[in-house]
Amino acid sequence: MRIDILTLFPDMFLSPFNESIIERARQKQLLEINTVNIRGFARDKHQQVDDYPYGGGAGMVMKVDVLSRAIRSVQEVPGRVIYLSPQGQPLTQEIVTRLATEEHLILLCGHYEGIDERLMPLIDEEISIGDYVLTGGEIGAMVVVDAVARLIPGVLGDERSSQEESFAGGLLEYPHYTRPRCFEEMEVPAMLLSGHHAEIRRWRKKLSLLRTLLKRPDLLLHRDYDQEERLLLEQILFVREKEKGEKS
Ligand code: 4FV
């Protein structure tokens, strides 16, 4: 996969992409990441990339002529153009999974008040990493690259981990334990030491459902349930009702 990042601050990407999994993916030629300095596409001697907003108001707006040249400069190979902005659709694992199937992604990082609206015809989709305002789209671009890169076949050591994780099945992940077996009188749940893999899988599924119910009930709303999950959820709800009954 090739990812081009259009930014006014290419050096921001030096450290995040030169460590651990992303760095290894680049070395294994599974992922190519290029940062492109938008200022290089300004034609005036001051290399102006932003200007005052028509109609007045605070802040500056990024210039459409400069940005359009920057986008077209990396489209010799067709690519999906993504603009990181608070107006974008909230990033989800589902969107990440879809983006991970693309050959070429072009990530546009905004700054100031944002971009001239006339650039939108060159943009395929807008993505937001959350309902808050950042100084720029760079950190959003890093989030997209990290989340997408780990789904590229061969990037993660064990592909299974990306299949069994939070949101992969639309549920939060089950709790994890490793050595030491006992820590400050806290034991590892006996089920995990039982060796009964089928039982362990059911136990983990049940805890995923319970944790999702407790921490992110919204995730349970628009979700299809298989027979086993339905049964486990009924057990969980039954026990909780019983507990509530006993308390009251
Ligand atoms: C943002 C977000 C974000 C808005 C003004 C950059 C800033 C400045 N990007 N998800 N939330 N962008 O806050 O992606 O142009």
Q: Which of 111, 134, 139, 146 to mutate to test the pocket of ligand 1 (most atoms within 8 A of CB)?
A: 134
Q: What is the pLDDT of residue 170?
A: 84
For residue 161, the model assigns a pLDDT of 61
- pTM for the model stands at 0.90
Between vectors from CA 150 to CA 92 and to CA 104, what angle results, nearest 5°? 80
Q: How many other CB atoms sit within 10 Å of the CB of residue 42?
A: 18
Q: What's the average pLDDT block by block, 10 residues per block, for the chain (248 residues)?
A: 98 90 94 98 97 96 98 97 98 96 98 97 98 97 97 80 67 95 97 96 96 93 90 91 84
CA of 215 to the centre of ligand 1 (A): 27
pLDDT of residue 18: 85
CB 110 within 8 A of CB 84: yes
Residues with CB under 6 A from ligand 1: 84-86, 110-112, 114, 128-130, 132-134, 136-137, 140
- Given a contact cutoff of 8 angstroms between Cβ atoms, the answer to whether 114 and 59 are in contact is no
Q: Atom 15 of ligand 1 has which residue's CA nearest to it? A: 111
- Going from the Cα of 30 to the center of ligand 1, the distance in angstroms, rounded, reads 28
